[in-house]
Amino acid sequence: MPGHCFGHLSLKNMETVYLNGEFIDAADAKVSVFDRGFLFGDSVYEVIPFYQGRGFRLDEHLHRLAYSLRAIQINLEEDWSALLHELVRRNGGGNVSVYLQITRGAAEYRNHNYDDSMSPTVFACCRAIRDIYQDGADAVQGITAMVTADLRWHRCDIKSTGLLPNILVLQQARQMGVDEALMIRDGFLTEGASCNLFVVDKGVIYTPKRSSEILGGTTRQLILELAAESGIPTQEVDIDYDRLVDADEVWISSSTRGVVPVLKIDDRAIADGRKGPLWARMFELFTHYQQQLMKG
């Protein structure tokens, strides 16, 4: 919903949003109180970084968006790439993340049932971001994390706006004085509040297996692709708590943060508590990939 993004907008240079076919001022964007995204979280979303006006892994984000729309049976055909590029252009180009949300639409009154007569609500806005790859590896600060129970529903593969469990565990992490919450279910790690998880042991990169219990991150997939191209072994496996805290390195990944080292979990240092050599290599591979994209 619009409120999700307005708190991060700089109205000085990020004032244009997209809502249901129109590019308008953020202050003028309104949706019905009967919109199902507002009432039920009946909606999906994507967050896509753009560097110098170019979408980063845009096709992969739009492929996942199509998957989420199919999964909740919203039928909508749009030229998403053209729409998002135009929104970025109207907000000055540069380095921004675009938040795109599609709800099932609004009915005349609150009702759990729905039919195909409703018109989906489409909203998108921009937020300025840093070009983390231009800043370089030395500028990346490692983070701290805690492990907590994964209380989310069992269709985490759908990128839905039903994020209350994520919000609560991330707030729990903040109250504990750490940066990220890593979630565990049935004895195995799943992912972070808004990121995927990797551990490194003896030169091998491990990440939880794809399933309905985790979101298939576009940056997660890029890590696996870059590792394969560079001859770095990877495995998708179940990861328990001991394997996590005893790892040589631990990383998280997301579209806007890239790949970030985790230096401490539950007050326990990971290895020597410093950024690891394989993370540095992966950041180098990310930087090269992003710079080639900018030239393309």
Backbone angles phi, psi at 263, to 5 degrees: -95, -25
End-to-end CA distance of the chain: 33
Q: Which of 30, 159, 264, 295 is catalytic?
A: 159
Is the Cβ–Cβ distance between 203 and 281 less than 8 Å?
A: no
User: 3-state secondary structure string, 54-68?
Assistant: EECCHHHHHHHHHHH
Q: Kindly report the CA angle at 152 between 149 and 156, in degrees rounded to 5?
A: 125
Is the Cα torsion angle 279, 282, 286, 291 positive or negative in sign? positive
For residue 81, the number of C-alpha atoms closer than 13 Å in the C-beta half-sphere is 10
Q: Helices in the chain by DSSP H: which ranges?
A: 2-6, 36-40, 58-71, 80-90, 132-135, 164-175, 218-229, 241-245, 277-295
d(CA 30, CA 135) in angstroms, rounded, equals: 37
Is 12 among the residues known to form the active site?
no
Backbone angles phi, psi at 216, to 5 degrees: -75, 90
Q: Whose CA is closest to 220, among 64, 98, 85?
A: 64
Amino acid code (one letter) for 264: K
How is residue 120 written in tokens? 């989906």
Give catalytic residue positions. Answer: 159
